[in-house]
Structure 1
């Protein structure tokens, strides 16, 4: 877009932020652009969740095609959607096996960063293990729940691409159920920056065990509209060494209401238009009422595989 095509208000705002130019102005412009882009993603998410705009309309408003808008924002909209369902997220998301902490956090570690902490499911385990924990989470709604759930953690606003910590300030960085949302090109050097020499980056995901027939049926319902493939064995690359992997099989005891909250808190469910979301939740209700392994049960054991990766800073 040529400068003369910008609106007068946009040019005026840019000039006010930039002032007389120079490196300080460039840094300020960069901060402002990041904030504006974050807000634009929020607005797009609100439009999509409310079914108030198609991707074609959003693309037109942003000066691009429908395909371009979808490629650019569909994953970001899902990543930023959790605040809209903070209550369901906190009630329905599973915990993690304690043995994962023992494997992911080196025995010598004392100060740990929980990056993308959500409402504190993993943060709580780290605090209970006697660690000094800093929990960083971009969503204000999730941070409120995090403050309440884990008051002993130090909670800060931030994200993997811009971590609000000093260089070499933590022994271990934990990313639970969140690394697939980050931009590795920006996040990897940021994590390396805040780690002490020889520090550890540890990634963990809970994956539903589809070997259980009713869980496979549930998965089919959840992904009838969208399937977001998650790489739970990512390569990290320099300046980190070779990854080590481990899997833990376990199950989470849940009530029917908690299982429905788990479903409602998935990003691909939150971002569905309201009518499609209602149909999906009704289909899950039907499964709970009709499947021979589920009907009549007050408590349900949902099997998980917890996949862990750890890499050491060279």
Structure 2
């Protein structure tokens, strides 16, 4: 059985990293501080994932009763709750206290532990699969990959999952433009495809398998605005800056027929799923 000792909380910021007690482990400032402030909004305003994506991974990894999956950077448990439906034992790893507490409150049947992707505190060979949903781009890739290799049993798999905006829709494209324009230069992005190189250059992994699904999120204009304010680099802003961002987002939404004057709105995402197997 996997189990984890108590892991230190985020302590303080230096530069763009929030340092943990372990000298080799850091959490990006935007994630460490931003998600502390926005845990509730994050849970409320962000989409889940298509059941088809879960079914694909459940077959591919596979996930079922008697197997163990570690969910890295689990946040408030958006994907964790789906993993639990497979019958596998799920261990959720989340470094940000506020996110972790929210996850434990929402999913009392799931084991939740403090830790990072680079230092989970879990035993060697404790997992049949490791999943990172909406989180791999935050990790220090070399250290995280070494930790995944340590956790996986022979033949185990790693899955990476992201919800990304469908920018073929004009108002969503304008919305994402705000996100990108306000992002600091060192902010990690799920749209950076450079993570693939780690698996082509590293022995012991299969080729990358991938599938993509449309993911239409039924929400409200108000929650679309809140979705912006829950973005890590927006959540770290002071209240006056956040209010300016809010006004800009509201102006974008008022400028498109699909969102102007509507209380309810469908926000289109694409769910991107990738998995690799340890040889």
2:52 is aligned, of 99, 119, 123, to: 99
Bigger relative contact order, structure 1 or 2 (CA pairs below 8 A, ≥6 apart): 2
Corresponding residue to 2:177 among 215, 220, 228: 220
The number of residue pairs the alignment matches comes to: 253
Matched residue, 1:302: 267
- The residue correspondences of 1:74-93 to structure 2 (distance < 5 A) are 76-80=28-32, 81-93=34-46
> Are the counterparts in 2 of residues 116 and 136 from structure 1 also a CA contact under 8 Å?
yes
Structure 2 alignment gaps of length 5 or more: 1-6, 19-25
Counterpart residue number, 2:214: 249
Q: Tell me the CA shift for residue 291 of structure 1.
A: 1.9
Mean Cα deviation higher: 134-143 or 93-102: 93-102
What is the deviation of 1:90?
Answer: 1.0
Q: Measured at CA, do residues 95 and 313 of structure 1 come closer, stay the same or move farther in structure 2, by a change above 3 Å?
A: same
Shift of 1:186: 0.8
Aligned partners of 2:162, 2:222: CA distance in 1, in Å?
23
Change in 2 beyond 3 A, CA 1:233/1:127:
farther
List gaps (5 residues or longer) in structure 1: 1-33, 47-72
Separation in 1 of the partners of 2:168 and 2:41? 26
Answer 1 or 2: which has greater helix percent.
1
Provide Cα deviations, 1:173-200, integer angstroms capped at 9, x if missing partner.
0100110111111111111111110000
Quick check: 1:189 aligned with 2:189?
A: no
8 Å contact kept, 1:233–1:309: no
Q: TM-score, normalised by structure 2?
A: 0.83
Name the SS of the counterpart of 2:12 in structure 1. Answer: helix
Alpha carbons 1:218, 1:284 under 8 Å: kept: yes
Q: 2: distance between equivalents of 1:247 and 1:164?
A: 32
Q: Hey, what's the Cα distance between the residues in 1 that align with 2:103 and 2:245? A: 28
After superposition, the Cα gap between the structure-2 partners of 1:91 and 1:101, relative to the gap in structure 1 and judged at 3 Å, is same
CA RMSD of aligned residues (A): 2.4
